[in-house]
């Protein structure tokens, strides 16, 4: 039996086929394959810039787990059926085309940045240093490492860095995992950060491009569903989960 071919972004190693997220029509995300799931809390540096993730509470997933994507569950991160009465339109609107097709490209001395702002999850890791769009143009070892750091922390994969000399993406492989973004600096909860090339299948049965970093909307208000577009920040979405203290 031949394997079905999916679009895979350059620099991405697909997760095992058993791990897949299926978007349910006007319903939750159905997660297969039990990837690890935990809160991913955005922490700031001394300059109050988004800088790293701290792992929060883990959640065990059953083989076919249902995660809320309407923003109304009282049992977050799991679906409790609230989408049936919440009146939120969960229709998918995102493109199935490769994300880089519509990316803006900025070439620096040694690195090139590709950016598709439609996928912005407002994690603000790009705002460190000189901001990534300027940082990539500075060149030099320290500036390049900071450019890479900012891109690699972008939860949505909006930002992708390439090495000019080889044309290869600079994209460290990540384990297949899910993170519930929590953003205490803004007092909001964010998308599900999906790392490690997990396939996301539309309710139509078509698959989105498989990418190393993706962010799935769970507030229900994105205009680019199923992907996050940062709307959770403006509507002040909260999942109601407490944030564990740092030890």
Binding residues (CB under 6 A) for ligand FES: these are: 121, 190-191, 217-219, 221-222, 228-232
Determine the Cα angle at 107 with ends 104 and 111, to 5°: 115
- Judged by CB, which is closer to ligand FES: 9, or 221? 221
- Judged by CB, which is closer to ligand FES: 48, or 236? 236
Instruction: Supply the minimum distance, in Å, between the C-beta of residue 89 and ligand FES.
Output: 13
Instruction: Supply the minimum distance, in Å, between the C-beta of residue 61 and ligand FES.
Output: 19
- Judged by CB, which is closer to ligand FES: 67, or 121? 121
Instruction: Supply the minimum distance, in Å, between the C-beta of residue 233 and ligand FES.
Output: 7
């Amino acid at each position: 039996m031949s394997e079905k071919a999916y679009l895979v972004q350059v620099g991405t190693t697909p997760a095992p086929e058993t791990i897949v997220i299926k978007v349910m029509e006007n319903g939750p995300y159905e997660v297969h394959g039990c990837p690890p799931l935990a809160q991913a809390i955005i922490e700031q540096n001394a300059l109050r810039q988004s800088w790293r993730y701290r792992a929060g509470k883990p959640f065990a997933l059953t083989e076919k787990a249902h995660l809320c994507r309407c923003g109304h569950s009282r049992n977050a991160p799991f679906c409790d059926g609230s989408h049936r009465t919440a009146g939120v339109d969960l229709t998918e609107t995102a493109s199935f085309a490769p994300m880089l097709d519509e990316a803006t490209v900025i070439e620096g001395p040694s690195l090139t940045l590709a950016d598709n702002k439609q996928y912005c999850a407002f994690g603000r890791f790009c705002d460190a240093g000189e901001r990534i769009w300027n940082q990539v143009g500075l060149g030099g070892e320290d500036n390049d490492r900071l450019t890479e750091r900012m891109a690699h922390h972008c939860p949505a994969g909006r930002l992708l860095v390439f090495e000019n000399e080889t044309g290869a993406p600079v994209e460290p492989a990540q384990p297949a995992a899910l993170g519930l973004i929590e953003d205490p600096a803004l007092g909001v909860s964010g998308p599900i950060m999906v790392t490690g090339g997990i396939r996301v299948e539309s309710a139509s049965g078509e698959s989105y491009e498989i990418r190393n970093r993706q962010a799935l909307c769970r507030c229900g208000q994105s205009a680019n569903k199923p992907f996050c577009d940062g709307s959770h920040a403006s509507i002040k979405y909260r999942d109601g989960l407490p944030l564990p203290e740092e030890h």
